[in-house]
């Protein structure tokens, strides 16, 4: 079955008389003798969400309280004193987590350019884990996940791919050879900017069991309501990604022609650096784009003037969001005038008119 069908069918009850959707189960404890006992270990609502996400990604999903909780549990798989090779463009909070763990002597990290496959593989020789983002946030770079997976020593070096910006609708990293996929379900999977949720999807039951053990012992568990809403989000994931991708392309094409815009990054544009790898590895180009204005002040002014689009951090919701990622990392890798847009489900014409007005006024 195709992802759009799985997103609708997976994680449901199949018995006669059962509700079509598994209802949220609010419980900390279950009567003894059954499948569930204490709810820090498992909850039927988490399991419905995990079943659906696991089916979509082709692996075994373990839900966590946030994307970062899933990332932390996955890094716990690294033996004490182990070595991680991470993309220099990995999500900033993941880099901070790696730094903290390096400072406390638990592991060491080598940062690499994820687009230089040969250099990455050379650095990964003897490493315990390689950490990549399928589509970097906010850099929108796409590494050759399949070639990297093929070049790593299976069983020695685990490949972890953060697929938050692409979701299983665009890419299934496990099929390309990854060992664990990380999702911040806070973003596209939840899809409505009203919850925090994460997941790690493992290639094997053994890896999933290790992640589950970590979740139970650290208590990095998701809430019942959040996993229930997360599964509701999955039902429309394919539709939302499809709509967002289409509108993102339209906005990118308008922006390319705008005189105030220095550069546009959207992998769907033929000349974009991510176009070729994304076309090869993914089914579409996604709902996130970025463009650069000459100055930070100009970019901030656009954020202050949009009315249909909302100025806020985060991404992946039905509402289109704009932000200047450089405001979080002054003087860092991100260009100061860069604006990122996460495209939602509004009418594309309304979005462009809003952006055009804000650009003119700024
Ligand atoms: C948001 C995000 C995370 C962290 O997820 P939370 O749910 O906020 O903890 C990790 N990776 C990427 C790429 C993200 O965008």
Q: What is the pLDDT of residues 141-183, one digit of tens each?
A: 999 999 999 999 888 999 999 999 999 999 999 999 999 999 9
* Phi-psi category of residue 219: left, alpha or beta, with phi > 0 → left and psi -120 to 50 → alpha: left
242 C-alpha vs ligand 1 centroid, how far in Å?
21
Using DSSP bridges, classify how beta strands 60-64 and 82-87 pair: parallel, antiparallel or unpaired: unpaired
Instruction: Let me know: does 97 contact 75? Beta carbons within 8 Å.
Output: yes
Residue 330 has what pLDDT?
63
Residue 153 has what pLDDT?
87
How far apart CA 164 and CA 339 sit, in angstroms, is 19
256 C-alpha vs ligand 1 centroid, how far in Å?
28
Spans of all domains in the chain: 3-235, 238-361
* Residue 230 clears pLDDT 90, i.e. is over it: yes
* Residue 331 clears pLDDT 80, i.e. is over it: no
Tokens of 335: 């260009």
Residue 221 has what pLDDT?
98
Closest by Cα among 46, 48, 55 to 3: 55
Residue 95 has what pLDDT?
96
Tokens of 279: 């076309």
- List, edge to edge, every strand of the sheet that includes 288-292: 263-265, 288-292, 338-342, 321-323, 310-311
Q: How confident is the prediction for the chain on average, in pLDDT?
A: 96
Closest residue (by CA) to atom 7 of ligand 1? 67
How many beta carbons lie within 10 A of that of residue 237, not counting itself? 25
Residue 334 has what pLDDT?
85
Residue 270 has what pLDDT?
96
- 40's CB contacts (< 8 A; 6+ apart) are 216, 219, 221
| Main-chain dihedrals φ then ψ at residue 110, nearest 5 degrees | -110, 125
184 lines ligand 1 (CB under 6 A): yes
Class of domain 238-361: alpha beta
How far apart CA 279 and CA 297 sit, in angstroms, is 35
pTM above 0.95, yes or no: yes
Closest by Cα among 37, 44, 100, 38 to 68: 100
Q: Go through the chain and tell me how many residues it has.
A: 362
The pick from 137, 189, 312, 315 for probing ligand 1's pocket by mutation, whose C-beta has the most ligand atoms within 8 angstroms, reads 137
Helix axes 348-361, 296-305, angle to 10 degrees: 130
Q: Which long-range contacts (CB under 8 A, 24 or more apart) does 276-281 make?
A: 277/142, 277/143, 277/144, 278/135, 278/142, 281/134, 281/142, 281/144, 281/145, 281/146, 281/171, 281/176
Closest atom of ligand 1 to 71 CA is: 10
133 lines ligand 1 (CB under 6 A): yes
Taking residues 60-80, report their average pLDDT. 98
Instruction: Let me know: does 127 contact 153? Beta carbons within 8 Å.
Output: no
- Give the active site residues: 40, 91, 162, 187
Instruction: Let me know: does 231 contact 199? Beta carbons within 8 Å.
Output: no
Tokens of 316: 């992946």
Please determine whether the domains at 3-235 and 238-361 fall in the same fold group of CATH. Answer: no
How far apart CA 66 and CA 291 sit, in angstroms, is 28
Residue 362 has what pLDDT?
85
- Find out if CATH 3.30.450.20 is the number for domain 3-235: no
How far apart CA 189 and CA 222 sit, in angstroms, is 14
Closest residue (by CA) to atom 1 of ligand 1? 184
193 lines ligand 1 (CB under 6 A): no
User: Cα angle vertex 195, ends 358, 4, to 5°?
Assistant: 85
Taking residues 251-272, report their average pLDDT. 97
Per-residue pLDDT tens for 8-50?
999 998 899 999 999 999 999 999 999 999 999 999 999 999 9
198 C-alpha vs ligand 1 centroid, how far in Å?
8
Lowest mean pLDDT among 13-17, 212-216, 223-227, 287-291: 13-17
214 C-alpha vs ligand 1 centroid, how far in Å?
19
Taking residues 325-351, report their average pLDDT. 89
């Amino acid at each position: 079955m195709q992802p759009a069908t799985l997103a609708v069918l997976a994680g449901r009850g199949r018995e006669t008389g059962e509700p079509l959707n598994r209802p949220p189960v609010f419980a900390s404890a279950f009567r003894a003798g059954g499948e569930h006992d204490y709810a820090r270990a498992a909850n039927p609502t988490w399991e419905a969400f995990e079943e659906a996400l696991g089916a979509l990604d082709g692996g075994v999903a373990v839900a966590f309280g946030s994307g970062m909780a899933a990332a932390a549990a996955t890094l716990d798989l690294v033996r004490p004193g182990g070595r991680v090779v991470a993309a220099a463009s990995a999500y900033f909070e993941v880099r901070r987590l790696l730094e903290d763990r390096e400072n406390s002597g638990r592991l060491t990290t080598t940062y690499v350019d994820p687009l230089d496959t040969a250099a990455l593989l050379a650095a990964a020789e003897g490493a315990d884990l390689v950490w990549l983002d399928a589509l970097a946030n906010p850099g929108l770079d796409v590494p050759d996940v399949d070639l990297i997976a093929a070049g790593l020593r299976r069983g020695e070096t685990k490949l972890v791919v953060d697929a938050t910006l692409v979701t299983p609708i665009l890419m299934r990293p496990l099929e390309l050879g990854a060992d664990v996929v990380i999702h911040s379900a806070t973003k596209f999977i939840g899809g409505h900017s009203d919850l925090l949720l994460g997941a790690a999807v493992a290639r094997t039951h053994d890896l999933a069991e290790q992640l589950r053990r970590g979740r139970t012992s650290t208590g990095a568990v998701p809430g019942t309501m959040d996993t229930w809403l997360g599964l509701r989000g999955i039902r429309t994931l394919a539709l939302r990604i499809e709509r967002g991708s289409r509108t993102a392309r339209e906005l990118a094409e308008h922006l390319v022609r705008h005189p105030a815009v220095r550069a546009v990054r959207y992998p769907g544009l033929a000349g974009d650096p991510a176009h070729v790898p994304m076309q090869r590895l993914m089914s579409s180009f996604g709902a996130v784009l970025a463009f650069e204005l000459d100055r930070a002040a100009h970019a901030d002014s656009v954020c202050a003037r949009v009315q249909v689009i909302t100025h806020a951090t985060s991404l992946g919701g039905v509402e289109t969001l704009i932000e200047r990622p450089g405001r979080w990392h002054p003087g860092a890798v991100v260009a100061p005038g860069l604006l990122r847009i996460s495209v939602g489900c509004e009418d594309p014409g309304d979005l462009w008119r809003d952006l055009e007005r804000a650009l003119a006024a700024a």
